[in-house]
Each structure stands twice: as C-alpha cells, then as structure tokens.
Structure 1
Amino acid sequence: MSTPPLYGNLVPLDREAHKHLRLKTELPTVDRVAGLNSLFLAVVEFAEACKEFPIVFVRVGEAPTDGSKQAVAPLAVMGLRAGSNLFVKDGKWTGNYVPAYLRRYPFAMARLDQDTDTVAVCYDSEWPGFSVTEGQALFGTDGEPTEFLSNARTFLENFEQESERTRHACQALQELDLLQDMRFEATLGNGEKLDVDGFLAVDEKKLAELPDAKVVELHRNGLLSLLEMHRISMGNMNRLAVQQANQA
C-alpha cells in the first residue's frame, strides 16, 4: 500500500483493533500542507479553486512503453517554490477554498493490494490527533462505525468517485493532445527571478484548431468548461508571484 503525499503511515481501520480509537477534531491539520506547494484537485473543484489557485496538470505514474500518452493529473498550485505554501500562515489556512484532498485528512481510502480492487478506510497513525481517551469515537460499543466515521467514509467514497471522474477527463485531454509543457517566469521586486516548470497547460493553438464537431462534443461533456476554468486560473500565477515577493 503506497503512501500519498501529506500522509505519514496509513493503517486500515479495524473495528476490533481500533475499537477504542478516537479523533480530536479540534486539532488543525493545516500544518500538514505547510511544506507542500501543490495539492491534487478533482475536476468538480475547478469552479471554486480557479478563483484562487493556478490549476495546472502534471504527468503521473510511469511513462507507457506502447507509445500512448502518459497519464496526467490536475494540481492546485499554492506556492512557486518547492516546500513553500503561500496559503498557510501562523498555522492557519488563509485561502477561501480548501481542497478536498486536505479536508479528507487524516483519513483516506487506500487499496490494500495492488493486484486487487479491495479498498479500505485508513487513517494516518502518525497524526497526533488520534487518541483512545479523547475526541470523537470511531466505533460504538457494538463495534459498528459511529455516525462520525460513517460520514467520513461517505466523504472518502465521494472523493474517490470524483478522482476517477477526473482521471477520465484528463485521459480525454491527453487523447486530444490538448496539453503542452509550459513554463512560468517572474522577477520579484528585489530582482530575484522565479522560474517554474515541469507542468502542463492547455495548448491554445490546438484547442482553436479543433473541428467544430469536436468543440461541441467537449462542450456537452463538460470538458470545454473545465479548460476555460483552467485557463482563467493561470492568471493566479502572477498573484502568487506578488504574494511570494511580499513574503520575502
């Protein structure tokens, strides 16, 4: 079982082994992302996220050997330097929108075996918010999940469904070859130069050259609006540069 970014040690929840486990929900989780300059974003989040963050695409997984396009995934950019999150200050989240990837913490759905589709609700055993004496109980005295844990599971299941929908949307963009490698450069007030690369953005020329029938298809399946929100969001790169300069 692989460990995704943000998490320390994922452990599958077991109603017997963890029957006394509780979660101190008042403990803020924001510090977990203080050192992350980007987070995964599902396409259903684009409408809110594009108002604050640049939304870019990055290659994920291994490059295929059959000549097909490598998989990509969307990210919300929160800092222009590695290890810097401009939306975390003094242990608090300063943005208006919090990506679902962070909101699901310290829980996650994880595949127990790479060779099967068996998934389970897991928790980050390294998160200090877990206790056997304080906080919200995860299991009742009958061993059944509490309402709190059931709600968390529902959120996780919805997150996984939206992640799968996002995967299909990105696959469609790749098949149409609508993404290209991009670079962002900026010069801060003190003369320092910022150079951000390693991400993909929409290829405006190829998008403009699509046949009318394909454009209509993209409009009807929602991909055209996703691309537009992505394009709008790229204006936030300059805003991040200003934030970076003010922080410096």
Structure 2
Amino acid sequence: MSTPPMFGSVVPLDREAHKKLHLRTDLSTVDKVKGLNSMFLTTVEFSEACKEFPIVFVRAGEAPKDGGKQPVAPLAVLGLKPGHNLFVEGDKWTANYAPAYVRRYPFMMAHIDDQGNMALCIDDQWAGFSDKDGQALFAADGEATEFLVNAKNFVESYERETERTRAACHELVELGILQDMRFESTNEAGNKVDVDGFMTVDEKKLAELDDATVVRLHRNGLLALLEMHRLSLGNMARLAQLQLARKD
C-alpha cells in the first residue's frame, strides 16, 4: 500500500484492533502540509480553488503499455519552490479554501488487495489518535460512531470525485488540448522565480475544436472547468511575489 503525501503510516481501520481509538479534532494538521508546494485537486473543487491557487495539470503515473497517452492530474499550486507552501504561516493555513485532500486527513480510502477492494484507512502515526482523548471511532457494541460514519462518508465522496476527475482528465488528454508551460517572474530587485513541469490548456487548440465537440464539453461541464483553470493562472503572479518576498 503506497503512502501519499501528508500520511505517515496508512493502515486499514479495524473495529477490533481499533475499538478503543479516539481522535482529537482540535489538533492542527498544518504542520503536515507546510512542506507541500502542490496538492491534488478534484474537479468539483475548481470553482472555489481557482479564487486562491493556480490550478495546473501534471503528468501522473506511467503511460499505458498499449501505447496510450500518459494520464494527467490537476494540482493546486501552493508554492513555487520544492518544500515551500506559501499558504502556511507558522501554525496557520492562510488561504480561504483548503482542498479536500487535506480536509480528509487522517482518513483515506485505499486499495487493500490485488482485486481492487478498498477500505477506510487511517494514518496511525498521527498524534491526534489515542485511547481516551477526543471523538470515539467505535461505540461499546463495536459499531461505528456517528463521527466515524461522517468521516467515512466524506472520504468515500472524495474517492468518487477523484474517479470523476480522472475521467475528465482522460478526456482532456484524448482531445490533445494541453501543453507544457513555463512560468517566469522577476521582481524590482532582479530576483527571479522559474517554474516548469506543468501543463495548461492550449488556447489555440481549444479554439480549433469543432462545434460538436465544444457543445459536448459545454454540456458535460468540461468547458467551465477549463475556464476556471485558465482564470486561476492569474494567481501564479501573486504566488511569485509572495515567494520573492520570502527570505527562505
């Protein structure tokens, strides 16, 4: 089982092994994301995320062995240098919106076997877990508490949106309307920030799509997502100024 960013040790939640487990919800998870300069974003989040972060696409995973195109995934850009999150100051998250990726922590859904079965998992290294403090995950009869049910519903919804996001990105790749991009910014002092390795919509190729395809993209919501992505790129200059103002 792979361990995604933020998570330390991912283990399936077990009603017997974890019957006494409690979770403190008052502990900040900001320390877990201060070193992340980007974060996976589901398409349903674009409308809120585009107001705060640049939304870009990156190649994800390996190209199919049958010669198909390499998948892509959307990311919210949080910083312009590796290990730097410009939306963390001390122990506070400064943006008005936090991606669902971080809000689900310390829970996640993960594959537990080769048959594709999934289970609710936890990061059992998270300091918020204990046998007595916080919200109980299981009741005395071994059934999930309302707190755990709500947490499971959230991560299951997140997983469904992740699948929808993969489908949307697959269509963008098949249409061939994404291009590699590079961003550069220099402040008045001559300090420079360069960012590459990401993809954005190719405006020329988008404009060349036939009418039937444009109508289909409008009706399935992809055209609106591309517009939100395009508008979000205006946040890149704001991040550059924040980065150039930092001394680290």
For the aligned pair, the TM-score class normalised by the smaller chain equals: over 0.9
> Is the contact between residue 30 and residue 92 of structure 2 (CA under 8 Å) also seen in structure 1?
yes
1:53 partner SS: coil
Distance, in Å, in 1 between the alignment partners of 2:207 and 2:67 is 25
Q: Alignment RMSD, CA only? A: 0.9
Structure 1 equivalent of residue 30 of structure 2? 30
Instruction: Tell me, in whole angstroms, the C-alpha distance in 2 between the residues paired with 1:98 and 1:35.
Output: 15
- How far apart are the structure 1 equivalents of 2:212 and 2:11? 48
Q: Percent identical across equivalent pairs?
A: 67
Q: Which runs of 4+ in 1 moved over 4 A?
A: none
Contact 1:12 1:120 (8 Å CA) reproduced: yes
| Structure 2: gaps (5+ residues) | none
CA deviations 1:214-233 (Å, max 9, x no partner) are 11111011000000000000
How far did 1:41 drift?
A: 0.3
Aligned to 2:4: 4
Q: 1:67: Cα distance to partner?
A: 2.4
Q: 2 CA distance for matches of 1:181 and 1:67?
A: 20
User: TM-score if structure 2 supplies the norm length?
Assistant: 0.98
How many Å separate the matches in 2 of 1:244 and 1:91? 18
Partner amino acid for 2:185? A
- Identify unmatched segments of 5+ residues in structure 1: none
Look up the match of 1:231.
Answer: 230
In the TM superposition, residue 141 of structure 1 has moved relative to its aligned partner by 0.2
1:208 is aligned to: 207
Aligned mates of 2:129, 2:212 — CA distance in 1: 54
Following the alignment from structure 2 to structure 1, what is the Cα–Cα distance between the partners of residues 71 and 205? Answer: 19
Q: Counterpart of 1:44?
A: 44
C-alpha distance in structure 1 between counterparts of 2:18 and 2:125, whole Å: 15
CA distance in 2, matches of 1:137, 1:188: 51
Aligned partners of 2:198, 2:221: CA distance in 1, in Å? 22
TM-score (norm: length of structure 1): 0.98
Structure 1 residue 191 corresponds to structure 2 residue 187: no
How far is 1:4 from its partner?
1.0
> What's the CA shift for 1:192?
2.0
Give the aligned residue type for 1:154: N
Match of 2:110 in 1: 110
What secondary structure sits across from 1:16 in the alignment? coil
**2:79 maps to what in 1?**
79
Q: Does 1:67 align with 2:67?
A: yes
Post-superposition shift, 1:187? 1.1
How far 1:62 moved relative to its partner? 1.0
The residue that corresponds to 1:95 in the other structure is 95
Cα drift, residue 188 of structure 1:
2.9
Amino acid at match of 2:144: P
Q: Which amino acid aligns with 1:186?
A: S
CA distance in 1, matches of 2:80, 2:19: 43
Q: Deviations over 1:145-180 (max 9, x none)?
A: 100000000000100000000000000000000111
